[in-house]
Amino acid sequence: MEEKTKFLFEDWRTKLNFRLTSFLEEDDPATLYQPMQYVFEGSGKRIRPILLLLTCKAVGGNIEAAWDAAVAIELLHNFTLVHDDIMDDDDTRRGRETVHKKWTPNIALLAGDGILALSYRALLRTDSEHLKRILEIYTDGIVAVCEGQALDMDFESREHVQPKQYLEMITKKTAYLLNISAKIGAIIGNGSDRQVTALGEFAQNLGVAFQIQDDLLDITVDEDTLGKTFGSDVKQKKRTFLLNYALTHASTQSQQALLNIFQMSEIDNESIYQVRDIFESAGAISAAKESVDNYLSLANKNLESLNGNGENRHLNYLLNYISNRNF
């Protein structure tokens, strides 16, 4: 079963990549379309479109009707990446130069705007009697992502961010796009309102769980395990769930020790172990684990509420995949 799901995802990913790389009908002016094409040719897990296709299928819909929306949601995701990379001034993305580094920030800004417009163009090709509702949900999603990004920017300059505020931020910044992907797929598949809501919440809960787990694995991962590198978030001074938790729950002395470490121009390996110990003693690691379990359990309940027909198996696969992830 697991193999079948993996095969299905791989098949969809291939089809989606083909649609993305052949999406552009124009190449002039090159200043606009070359960076766009570069973005569309990048790799990616394509989680959001896969989720959209999955939920369409889960409610018994025909996924052929969902491809345009699947392309749209991936374009939307890429729009957020291009603009986020400008704001964070990141050099690389998925192993390649970011658009604003390869070209200029102005060109990346404009390419991002264009990709957002093209994502609406793709979505508008969806043949569904619920198109207006789909567009409303989609648009609300973009507003939420902007709010999440604004919160993220705010938090950068604050010493204390409560875990609850951090959760609001990651919900809006990353999990909400998963929510709307799942909802839109279910709507295109003519799912009931109950199904649409449950699948949206399922995806959002899964997204939050995944994000906290990511923060957690950074500091708990076995160094021999492939994939993640131990302490890379700490090295990059990222404001993770753990750091925010420790900065609001650790002893005053430990908080100061953390702040001192994060003010170092470069954080050495010894300090990373010290950070891990503070996270441990402040209860940040167990709080993160509890939070992941909590969101996964909510996601599981969302699935159960659908009174599982056979089409839920791929969604269950996603849930199990995240539950068992340790790399």
**Helix axis angle, 252-262 to 269-282, nearest 10°:** 150
Closest CA to 294 of 211, 209, 213: 209
What residues form DSSP beta bridges with 96?
93
- The token duo for 55 is 């939920």
CB-nearer residue toward a copy of itself: 131 or 322: 131
* Cβ 48 to a copy of itself shortest distance, Å: 17
* Cβ 235 to a copy of itself shortest distance, Å: 23
CB-nearer residue toward a copy of itself: 110 or 243: 110
CB-nearer residue toward a copy of itself: 31 or 92: 31
CB-nearer residue toward a copy of itself: 153 or 259: 153
Q: Give dist(CA 31, CA 27) in Å, integer.
A: 9
Complete DSSP assignment for 188-246: HTT--HHHHHHHHHHHHHHHHHHHHHHHHHHHHS-TTSSSSPTTHHHHTT---HHHHHH
* Cβ 161 to a copy of itself shortest distance, Å: 13
CB-nearer residue toward a copy of itself: 122 or 209: 122
- Footprint of a copy of itself (CB under 8 A): 26, 29, 31-32, 83, 86-87, 105-107, 109-110, 112-114, 116-118, 120-121, 124, 131-132, 135-136, 139-140, 142-143, 146-147, 149-151, 153-154
- CB neighbour list of residue 326: distance below 8 Å, 6 or more residues apart: 217, 221, 222, 225
* Cβ 147 to a copy of itself shortest distance, Å: 6
* Cβ 311 to a copy of itself shortest distance, Å: 29
